[in-house]
């Protein structure tokens, strides 16, 4: 990770869970991290914790709604002014809403697409353009995907969410191909966790928190730090190594 010290990473959805763990880990490794989310107060608290811990990097909180393109474009303009640009982009933000295919709300489907697919794609495009204009040839774009991007579980409330994560799988491979055609050494990676003990299930089953709790208690789940460690592993790979996708499940998870 030494070559990343002092360089700039963007982590979306950095207020809680996986995003917060990734942001903290990159700051610990000496990076300048722009952490964005709609709830910027939690990122501000995390930034204070990083300072108190004596980490060599710095966390810069930024309030951004990733479902609004103008918010994203304004964020990248701010990064350009304050930090020249982005060297690493971690597309972590994502959400799951309990909207099935037979009776789900169109508004819920659109919200998932806006954040999980469109927002991710806008951040990817802007990160690449930031790298290109500064002749950065060793940048990295990492999409925090899901095992739901690789198989369909028989659970109706997750089917549309699953479709959005299948899109992330296709987008990551498409990005890799386009980067090769552009004759750049910028890399693209997808990290696909199984069940991680975060707020995702509590938001998915917001009307039945006991169900979410039972899911997390049913097996020994992955923790947010496990995914942060995978990000560090990917970034630590030699520049000639392209890690396309990491699929990681709890040992006890069946599907």
Residues serving a catalytic function are 161
196-210 as b/e: b if 16+ CB within 10 A: bbbebbeebbeeeee
| Cβ–Cβ under 8 Å, residues 108 and 114 | no
Number of neighbouring beta carbons within 10 Å of residue 40: 17
What SS3 state is found at 80?
helix
- The Cα 120–Cα 108 span in angstroms is 17
Tokens of 74: 């304004």
| Cβ–Cβ under 8 Å, residues 31 and 7 | yes
């Amino acid at each position: 990770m030494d070559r990343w010290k002092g360089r700039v990473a963007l982590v979306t959805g950095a207020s809680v869970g996986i995003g917060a763990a990734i942001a903290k880990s990159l700051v610990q490794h000496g990076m300048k991290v722009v952490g964005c989310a709609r709830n910027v107060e939690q990122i501000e608290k995390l930034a204070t914790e990083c300072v108190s811990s004596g980490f060599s990097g710095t966390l810069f909180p930024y309030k951004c709604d990733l479902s609004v393109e103008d918010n994203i474009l304004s964020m990248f303009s701010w990064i350009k002014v304050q930090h020249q640009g982005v060297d690493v982009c971690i597309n972590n933000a994502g959400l799951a809403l309990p909207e099935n295919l037979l009776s789900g709300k169109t508004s819920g489907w659109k919200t998932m697409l806006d954040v999980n697919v469109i927002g991710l794609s806008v951040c990817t495009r802007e990160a690449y353009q930031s790298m290109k204009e500064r002749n950065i040839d060793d940048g990295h774009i990492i999409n925090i995907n899901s095992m739901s991007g690789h198989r369909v579980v028989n659970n109706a409330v997750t089917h549309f969410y699953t479709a959005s994560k299948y899109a992330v799988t296709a987008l990551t491979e498409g990005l890799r191909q386009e980067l090769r055609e552009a004759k750049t050494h910028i890399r693209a990676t997808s990290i696909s966790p199984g069940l991680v003990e975060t707020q995702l299930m509590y938001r998915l089953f917001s009307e039945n928190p006991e169900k979410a709790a039972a899911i997390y208690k049913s097996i020994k789940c992955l923790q947010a730090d496990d995914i942060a460690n995978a990000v560090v592993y990917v970034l630590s790979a030699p520049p000639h190594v392209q890690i396309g996708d990491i699929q990681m499940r709890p040992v006890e998870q069946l599907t």
